[in-house]
Each structure stands twice: as structure tokens, then as C-alpha cells.
Structure 1
Amino acid sequence: MTQSAPLLLAADYRKFMRQKRRLLDAATRQHCASLASRFLPKLFSVLPNNANIAFYLDSFGEMPTEPLAKFCQRYGYQGFLPITRHGEPLRFAPIYQPLAKTPLRRHHLGMAEPTTHKIDARRMHAIICPAVAIDKTGLRLGMGGGYYDRTFAHAPNCLKIAWCYDFQLVDSLPRQAWDKSMDIIITERRFIRIN
């Protein structure tokens, strides 16, 4: 069952959910990511062999993404990490295996991003993104920069997957004209295919 919450402004959801994420200790975060990783094999039916899968490096209390890197390595998928440029769709750079060998730097938003060559988002088969909150229709609320919405508008054919804690799933979110809905939601408790 999704969390029942009143329809709030996006800023209110961001504040509330970010506070809840910050209350989780490292062991709880890792445990949730481990539980969520049990659902990753369900992606086999929707991904081609050797798929390009983009994901992010958790930095602000999001569910840890190390299991995503391990999933890519174990099953022969090429993992990619986002590179941000203000006002532009994300581009992506391939990761090295193990992930620790990928050259990284901190960018202006405080997250680590690769320093290797950039690839257009349209070459991704799937993009796994964080969410501050997400509703049962797949509408995702991010941090407010619009990076993923611009990217999904630029690359409409990639599989859009939200990777988040179960408490971030709410009944309804306010929709903006530019919002893009997810195709799949993965939490530590469930795998939800939208449509």
C-alpha cells in the first residue's frame, strides 16, 4: 500500500522526503538496496543483451546504487553514469569495472561524475534515476533541476526506472506539463510495472 499523504506542493514533498531519507543510517540504506536488488532480474524481459544502463551515484541519502553496478557487471550490461550541464539533457559516460576504477570528479551540484567521454542519452536502453517521491502512476518528483525530465524528453524510447525507498511511494503528486512518468518503480519491497 502506498503512503497516504495530502496533495502538497513540490517544495513541501522535497523537504519532507529529504528529511526522511537523512534519518536513515548507512546500514539501513544498504539493507534496503540489497532487498531492492532482488527485483533486478525482472528487468531481463525488457532489456536486450548487452544493454546500456545508466544509473547515478548516490550522494544525498538516496538508496545506494552499488547493487546496480554489480548487476551490470554480473550480467554483461554496460553501466553508465550521468554528466550534467546546466539547462541541457544529461549525457552519460561508461563506467569501468569495478566501479572504483572509473575516474570521477565532483561537479557543481556536489555529486561525483565521470571524466571519461560523453555519450548521448538516446544510446541508453534504460535510465535508472533517483526520486524524492513517486506516485502510483509513475510520476516522479526529483530534486528540482529538471535534468531527468529534459533527458527523457530528449530520449523518449529508453526505459525509465525509478530506484527509491518504499516510503517515497505516495498516492498522488502534483503534475507539471514537463513531467515524465516512469515505466518501472523498484523499491526494497516491490517491483511495479506502470502500464
Structure 2
Amino acid sequence: MTTDAEHDARTAKAALRLQLRAARRALAPQARAAAARQLAGHAPALPGWRPGARIAAYVAADGELDPAPLLAAATAAGLLAYLPRVGDDRALTFHRWTPGDPLVPNRYGIGEPAAGAPLPVEKLDLLCLPLVGFTAAGVRLGMGAGYYDRTLATARPGLLVGVAYGEQGVETLPQEPWDVPLDGVLTETGWRPAAAPA
């Protein structure tokens, strides 16, 4: 049974999600492209960025900050890139991908790599996931479907990196027990390790 506090937290998250999604969708295409290039330029500052490291990101949708240039930079630097596939159980699996490899639209119209043997999430050195909002302490606001929370409920990668525009940062976010905290956030202005709780 949902308590009043849980209901209030979910209502607050839903309202903030609508506001932040509208703001990122309103960005001009040139601003989005510039932010994606800047993001890639800051990626080598991520802990664990090294040749041979396994890095997963996502295919941008709904105005998300596009990590495609970041993945291109990663493969050029000798990292191994992975992208998610959405499973029937509403969890994600991560599959090897190289820039230029074809993608197949999933049920949401978002490109996925062809099916193949997935890499367990705990074998990823870095996992870059999209955010709707974030706090300095690494609390994240996602799209609300729970795909990443479900995927990360029993295993974590070496480094969990939120990817978002800097303006998606907020002072506080309601938290629920299943919310998985970030190790930090990478924006177009640089890498921000999660601050220790006060």
C-alpha cells in the first residue's frame, strides 16, 4: 500500500520530470550537437577511461544529451563500446557495438544492437546512462519506467555515470528505496563526482 509520503514523492517526481524533459527538448539542434561534442571532449577525465575498458552508453531519444561522439572517442582511444537492448522482462542487457554498426529499432523506436551474447553489467567498467535530472550527491531522476533501476538492482558496473546537460541539475530530488545512486555525472561542462551526503 502506498503511503501519503510515497504518493507525494511520486507526484513531485512526475511534475519535475515533465518540466525537465520539456526544457531539454526545447534546446536548439545546434546547441545539442555542441553539447554532445563537448561531452566527448570531457570523457577522458572519467575514472577508468583507458584502452581495453568496457564502456556502455545509450542511443539518445527525447532530447537526451547524445553520447554518440563520446562512444566514437572511446573506440578511437581503444575502449570497447556497448549499447543496451530492452528485454521482455523490462531489464537491459548490454551488447558489443562499434560506431557504424547497424541498429535495429526496438518497440519504442530506439535503435539497439543486433542480438548476441550480452556482457553482464558487472563486467562493464563504465556505464553511462541518460538522466532527466540529477543532484550533486548523485541522486538521479530517470524517465520513470525503471529499466536502469531494475537492471542495477543486483549488480553494478565499475563506475555508474549519469549523462545530462548541466542545466538538468537540481538541488534535491525525492528518493525511493530502489533508486540507484550515481558515482557522478558527466555533462557538457565536465565530470562531476557525486558529493558525499552532508
Give the alignment of 1:19-34 within 5 angstroms: 19-34=22-37
Cα distance, 1:156 vs structure 2: 2.1
Provide the residue aligned with 1:3 in structure 2.
none
Provide the residue aligned with 2:73 in structure 1.
71
Provide the residue aligned with 1:114 in structure 2.
113
Question: Are the aligned partners of 1:135 and 1:171 in contact in 2 as well (CA < 8 Å)?
Answer: yes
- Deviation digits for residues 11-50 of structure 1 (CA, Å, limit 9, x no counterpart): 111110111111112111011112222221112x434540
Where 2:152 maps in the other structure, the secondary structure is helix
Give the letter aligned to residue 115 of structure 2. T
Give the alignment of 1:4-153 within 5 angstroms: 9-43=12-46, 45-47=47-49, 49-96=51-98, 99-100=99-100, 102-119=101-118, 120-153=120-153
- 1-structure distance, mates of 2:173, 2:78: 36
- Deviation digits for residues 106-164 of structure 1 (CA, Å, limit 9, x no counterpart): 11122111113131222211110000011111111111111111222232243100111
**Structure 1: where are the runs of 5+ without partners?**
1-6
Question: Which one is further off, 147-156 or 130-139?
Answer: 147-156
Identity of aligned residues (%): 30
Q: Which has the higher contact order (CA 8 A, sep 6+)?
A: 1
Question: Are the aligned partners of 2:35 and 2:188 in contact in 1 as well (CA < 8 Å)?
Answer: yes
Q: Does 1:179 align with 2:182?
A: no
Pairs aligned (count): 185
Provide the residue aligned with 2:192 in structure 1.
192
Q: Does 1:158 align with 2:161?
A: no
- 2-structure distance, mates of 1:92, 1:66: 16
**Structure 2: where are the runs of 5+ without partners?**
1-8
- 1-structure distance, mates of 2:48, 2:72: 18
Question: Are the aligned partners of 1:89 and 1:154 in contact in 2 as well (CA < 8 Å)?
Answer: no
- 1-structure distance, mates of 2:115, 2:125: 20
Cα distance, 1:87 vs structure 2: 3.5
- For normalisation by structure 2, the TM-score amounts to 0.86
Question: Are the aligned partners of 1:132 and 1:142 in contact in 2 as well (CA < 8 Å)?
Answer: yes
- For normalisation by structure 1, the TM-score amounts to 0.88
- 1-structure distance, mates of 2:66, 2:157: 26
